[in-house]
Amino acid sequence: MNRQRAFGLGIAAAVVLVALVSALWTPYDPLQAEPAARLQGSSAAHWLGTDQLGRDVLSRVMAGARVTLLVSLGAVALSALAGVPLGVWAGMRRGAVEAVVMRLNDLALAFPALLLAIVFTAVFGASAWVVVLAIGLAGIPGFARVARVGTLRVMAQDYILAARVSRVPPLRIAVRHVWPNIAPLVVVQVSVALALAILAEAGLSFLGLGTPAPYASWGRMLQASQPYLATAPHLALWPGLAIALTVLGFNLIGGGRDRR
């Protein structure tokens, strides 16, 4: 493992640890307002300061890590569970099946996460599950493409031809031969998709389409900090830094290459 990937894993592990800790403990209740302590800077009592309602920023950043990771992981899981089987199916069957699946895949690209989130919010209202559904559906084409390309490479191997001549069932070929060979590609796609999902979740929450107030979300914290950028820049600094570092970590995991 090279240093780039190790550094990315370290950042991702730290964020996951913060999210897990926040489920059990935070310095203060992230939802508890204290008007007398509003807009304070860093201090011994509040390491990252307080927001416009007097809530502890560190506690809200920690709670926001949990919300952001849960939403992003849920969205990527939806994308992978739907996209990978479709890509494998298209790559193994070829012909009309491949053509139909990939044309539907191209059609899905016309519906970005933002558009889907607006539609789902109009129907179901703003919530974290709306963001999961919107980002997850928008990410299916990426996983389907990666899985199809990997499957085509595996299906061109001689041992696959031998298995098909021996009348090995397609499902068994997919499980025993295709999946183990395309798994590294899928893992890389997962790390990249997580980085994109975190950005998308922050953007949708910033627009008011994601996690509703008063629950902590990095994107919503950025949105709420806008009127105070001149007087209390720390309100935007810490959630913005959290988003940047988390996205960097997952991108380094996906972009790192081991040297042989």
Burial 99-122 (b: 16+ CB within 10 A, else e): eebbeebeebeeeebbebbeebbe
Q: What is the 3-state secondary structure (H, E, C) of the chain?
A: CCHHHHHHHHHHHHHHHHHHHHHHCCCCCCCCCCHHHCCCCCCCCCCCCECCCCCEHHHHHHHHHHHHHHHHHHHHHHHHHHHHHHHHHHHHHCHHHHHHHHHHHHHHCCCCHHHHHHHHHHHHCCCHHHHHHHHHHHHHHHHHHHHHHHHHHHHCCHHHHHHHHCCCCHHHHHHHHHHHHHHHHHHHHHHHHHHHHHHHHHHHHHCCCCCCCCCCCHHHHHHHHHHHCCCCCHHHHHHHHHHHHHHHHHHHHHHCCCCC
Burial class (CB in 10 A: 0-12, 13-18, 19+), 161: exposed
Whole-number Å distance between alpha carbons of 131 and 127: 7
Considering the chain, what is the average pLDDT of its residues? 89
Determine the topology of domain 3-24+50-255 in CATH: MetI-like fold (1.10.3720)
pTM reported for the whole predicted model? 0.89
87-134 pLDDT, tens per residue?
Answer: 999 999 888 888 888 888 888 888 888 888 888 888 888 788 889 999
The confidence band for 260, taking pLDDT boundaries of 50, 70 and 90, is very low
For the chain, the structural domain boundaries read 3-24+50-255
**CA angle centred on 240, ends 7 and 190, rounded to 5°:** 50
How large is the average pLDDT for residues 186-191? 93
Which pLDDT value is given to residue 118? 86
